[in-house]
């Protein structure tokens, strides 16, 4: 993997952290496993990965008008994210598919 295609993970958003830290231990461990997986992938692999299911959120944009996406981070949760250069920035966790798009 080229250095420019490596992924940096940002989980410093307060909403994401509150969501993550309120999870049961087992679910938090599952999500941590997904973050480890993402760290090992290239951006092209993230976009194509059938387990992550990278999807555009057409119903809203970020505060900076950036496009928002969802990724599956466990069997129960999706995360709202956006890409900024090499960073995947996590914004929130959602226990059901539909709430990630509202």
| Structure tokens given for 13 | 């958003």
**pLDDT value of residue 62:** 85
Q: How confident is the model at residue 98 (pLDDT cuts 50, 70, 90)?
A: low
Q: Which residue has the higher pLDDT, 36 or 59?
A: 36
pTM: predicted TM-score of the whole model, two decimal places: 0.89
As a whole number, mean pLDDT of residues 59-65 equals 86
**pLDDT value of residue 54:** 96
Helices (H), 1-102: 14-21, 25-40, 43-48
């Amino acid at each position: 993997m080229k250095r420019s295609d490596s992924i940096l993970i940002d989980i410093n958003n307060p909403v994401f952290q509150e969501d993550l830290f309120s999870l049961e231990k087992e679910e938090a461990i599952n999500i941590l496993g997904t973050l480890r997986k993402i760290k090992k992938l290239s951006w092209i692999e993230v976009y194509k990965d059938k387990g992550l299911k990278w999807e555009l959120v057409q119903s809203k944009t970020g505060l900076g008008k950036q496009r928002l996406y969802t990724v599956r981070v466990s069997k129960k949760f999706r995360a709202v994210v956006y890409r900024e250069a090499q960073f995947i920035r996590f914004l929130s966790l959602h226990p059901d598919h539909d709430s990630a798009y509202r």
